[in-house]
Amino acid sequence: MMFMVVSTTPRPDAGRGAGPPSGAPHRRRGRIFARIPVRFRRLSLPYLLILPAILLELLIHVVPMVIGIWMSFLKLTQFYLRNWSAAPSVGLSNYRIAVDFDSAVGSSLLHSFLVTVVFTVLTVALSWLLGTMGAVLMQGAFRGRGVLRALFLVPYALPVYAGVITWSFMLQRDSGLVNHILVQLHLADAGDRPFWLIGDNSFISLIVVCVWRTWPFAFLVLMAGLQNIAGDLYEASAIDGAGWWRQLRSITMPMLRPVNQVVVLVLFLWTFNDFNTPYVLFGKSAPEQADLISIHIYQSSFVTWNFGSGSAMSVLLLLFLLVVTSIYLVATSRRRSDA
């Protein structure tokens, strides 16, 4: 199968003609410029243009990351908080504690990691499935399509806090809407209402809320991807006698593959790292059954006021995500070039 890859990379000669204006008032500057070879001048322009972005990227992402890695080798407790450069170095001991799965710290980190893996797989799968279904079903024009599309995007457009806090009210045991409906429908006994925010059910609640929040993103991107599939492909296949299902399998899904590759990766990273949803839904200490890793790390840093150990856990998480992402990208792009 062949793919049309739309390239947005600017051609190398795109900057031509943007050289410095030469004129009398600029004689001195012009002389300096003149010493720089023309080729170099042309080459450097794009870099100059992205320089501010690179500096900001360094400041906002890379510097804190490096400092975070440095912190993970320190014993950064309350005694050094005000002047944490004075915190003593402890080598790898923060890491040793984090991966010592026999200890309370390590075993709870492992537990939280496994919970997060299961949670991420389920959430990404469900969000992707719903998003794809929604996008495919909305592909053909029908009355009310615009309204439905807008409606589907509401969870994504709502501020996280507003959306999730409403869920947490609805899921409360005594006064929540969910239990009220369950009791009205006689699915639950009024005297023994189920808990949704603590205990085993909290895991289900978390998945439902997260899927509710993330599937519109998959829907939005896949819908955009569908616009790019030329209509004559469907017409041609229809003439060849392909039905809806056949079209979906042989045209829609293969054509969407590059989009899917990105959507699944982004959903995975977002979901795995999700902090806001569990934090707003459960508060500071999430129930064990729904103890996602980002909130677990946050909680264990503040619980003992040892930010070095929290940083070590964060670095481990970063490494894990890097490895998964690289494997994923290598695997998916190989498949693409094989095809």
Q: Which residues bind other proteins (CB under 8 A)?
A: 61, 63-68, 70-71, 77-79, 81-85, 97, 103-105, 108, 161, 172-174, 195, 197-200, 273-276, 279, 283-285, 287-288, 293-295, 297-307, 309-311, 313-315, 317-318
CB of 228 to other proteins, least distance (A): 31
CB of 269 to other proteins, least distance (A): 8
User: Contact 216/152 with Cβ under 8 angstroms?
Assistant: yes
CB of 282 to other proteins, least distance (A): 9
Candidates 201, 176, 210; CA nearest to 295 is 210
Candidates 188, 204, 208; CA nearest to 196 is 204
Of 173 and 249, nearer to other proteins (C-beta) is 173
3-state secondary structure labels for all residues of 18-42: CCCCCCHHHHHHHHHHHHCCHHHHH
Count of beta carbons in the 10 Å neighbourhood of residue 201: 16
Those residues with Cβ within 8 angstroms of residue 197's Cβ, 6 or more apart along the chain or in another chain? 168, 171, 172, 173, 205, 281, 282, 287
Backbone angles phi, psi at 141, to 5 degrees: -80, 140
Positive or negative torsion for Cα 135, 141, 142, 145: positive
Of 152 and 203, nearer to other proteins (C-beta) is 203
- Give Rg (Cα) of the chain: 27
Output the CA angle 224-226-227, nearest 5 degrees: 70
CB of 34 to other proteins, least distance (A): 41
CB of 99 to other proteins, least distance (A): 12
Residue type, 311: S
SS3 for 4?
Answer: coil
Of 34 and 55, nearer to other proteins (C-beta) is 55
Strands (E) across 106-198 are located at: none
CB of 211 to other proteins, least distance (A): 19
Of 123 and 300, nearer to other proteins (C-beta) is 300
Of 261 and 276, nearer to other proteins (C-beta) is 276
Of 132 and 202, nearer to other proteins (C-beta) is 202
Of 229 and 324, nearer to other proteins (C-beta) is 324
CB of 262 to other proteins, least distance (A): 18
